[in-house]
Amino acid sequence: MTNDEKTKTKKGNLKLCELCKSRKQAIKRPKNLQKICKECFYHVFETEIHQTIVSNNLFFPGEKVAIGASGGKDSTVLAYVLKLLNERYNYGLELVLLSIDEGIVGYRDDSLATVQRNKIQYNLPLEIVSYRDLYNWTMDEIVSCAGIRNSCTYCGVLRRQALDRGAAKLGINHVVTGHNADDMAETVLMNILRGDLARLENSTTICTKSSGSPIKRSKPFKYIYQKEIVLYAHYKKLDYFSTECTYAPEAFRGTARVLMKNLEKIRSSCITDIIYSGENLVLKEKKKRQQFKKKQNANGSKEPTEVEIRNDGSISLGKHGFKDGNRCTRCGYLSSNTICKACMLLEGLEKSKAKIMLENDGVTDGAAKLTRTLESLTF
Ligand SMILES: Nc1ncnc2c1ncn2[C@@H]1O[C@H](COP(=O)(O)OP(=O)(O)OP(=O)(O)O)[C@@H](O)[C@H]1O
């Protein structure tokens, strides 16, 4: 008897779950195309996350963990599942929701309203930290000054630090985020396509730490497909915010995403396969040194480049030779660089704002002039 025949009832029409062989099929798993019932889907989904947590020793009993909560599907499912697993398997974690308000009107204000509801639904404490309070800039102001082109870079750098600072404020050393397998595979692809070997080697690490920061960051959804997160949230009727950010995703990441989605259509396992390839890739020492030298030479100096705009328009922030435990000379926050990345970007913004104001005293020439100004002066 074939597998298909085995999963049919006596009536011959109703197909049964390929796992429990007793309940009705409801879902075709995007990860392996298995046809299973809802209950088995919940079970495999939650168990895979639990196994990732256990096999990577992500937590220790009594640990305080902040969940980076944006109100979107990934972090909402993360909050729900972590709370569930914490109770089911007795992890002994103290969970807190930590949200960053980037100041994007019509987007983040609405998604934060969702997090406020999640706080009540999941009975978890919530801390909100804003760019306005930390940096005296909102993302809306940054985009109106620097343009939309590099908005993801600004936002990413500032958010990383904001999450660190929010966690530090709560006396927490560990932040978990809802980055999933698709995000990770995209990052691997992007780094391959850019030839960015230094980043490629670390792009599949489940636990990371910003240089200089005591805060650990981990991704329990490293092996979880985005489509399965959406299915889980849908069937569990979780309350999440589903609108995309007002500012378009980084152009190159968008291209890698499309490429990966097309590959996934042909071969569903390709997301896991790309991560597997990334995990097992080992760079030769020689290559690492060559990358470092290439940057130095391009800069014409012995110091590595601080801020570099790549050909595809994205920004790369280099190092300045400081060690862990040092502090940024501008904001005083822990940083392995003389000036932390957030301050580097903010300094560029302040300069452009000042220059724009000066130029606007004369003839105003609209958005094109703003963009030109920024591009000429920033870095
Ligand atoms: N404003 C924020 N506050 C707190 N955490 C955030 C915020 N934005 C993003 N994160 C964290 O970073 C993860 C990845 O964020 P990204 O911007 O890629 O959004 P996403 O993939 O749409 O995730 P989500 O569906 O959770 O919004 C999120 O799952 C969340 O854990």
Q: What is the dihedral of CA 151, 154, 155, 157, to 10 degrees?
A: 150
Indicate the pLDDT class of residue 89, thresholds 50, 70 and 90: very high
Return d(Cα 145, Cα 137) in angstroms, integer: 10
H or E element, residue 218: strand 216-218
Name the residue with higher pLDDT: 335 or 298. Answer: 335
**Quick one: how far is CA 81 from the chain centroid?**
18
Nearest CA to ligand 1 atom 16: 179
| Binding site feature residues for ATP | 68-70, 74, 100, 178, 183
- Spatial distance between the Cα atoms of 107 and 247, rounded to a whole number of angstroms: 10
Which of 187, 225, 179 minimizes the C-alpha distance to 206?
179
What domains sit in the chain, N to C, each tagged with a CATH number?
1-36 (no CATH), 38-279 (3.40.50.620), 285-377 (no CATH)
Closest among 149, 157, 147 to 309, alpha carbons compared:
149
pLDDT at 321: 43
Ligand 1 site, CB within 6 A: 68-70, 72-75, 98-100, 102, 159, 177-179, 183
Ligand 1 atom nearest 102 alpha carbon: 1
Backbone angles phi, psi at 230, to 5 degrees: -65, -45
Question: How would you write 119-148 as a 3-class SS string?
Answer: HHHHCCCEEEEEHHHHHCCCHHHHHHHHCC
Give tens-digit pLDDT for 146-186: 888 888 889 999 999 999 999 999 999 999 999 999 999 99
- CA–centroid distance, 358 to ligand 1, in Å, is 37
- Residue closest via CA to ligand 1's atom 27 equals 72
Binding-site annotation, residues: 68-70, 74, 100, 178, 183
Question: Rounded to the nearest whole angstrom, what is the distance from the C-alpha of residue 292 to the centroid of ligand 1?
Answer: 31
According to the model, what pLDDT value does residue 368 have?
A: 43
Name the residue at shortest CA distance from atom 22 of ligand 1.
Answer: 72
- Which atom in ligand 1 lies closest to the alpha carbon of residue 98? 4
Sheet holding 216-218, edge to edge: 126-130, 94-101, 64-68, 174-176, 216-218, 207-209
Q: In this prediction, does ipTM exceed 0.95?
A: yes
- The rounded Å distance from CA 141 to ligand 1 centre is 20
Q: What percent of the chain has pLDDT over 70?
A: 79
Tens of pLDDT, residues 359-374: 555 444 444 444 444 4
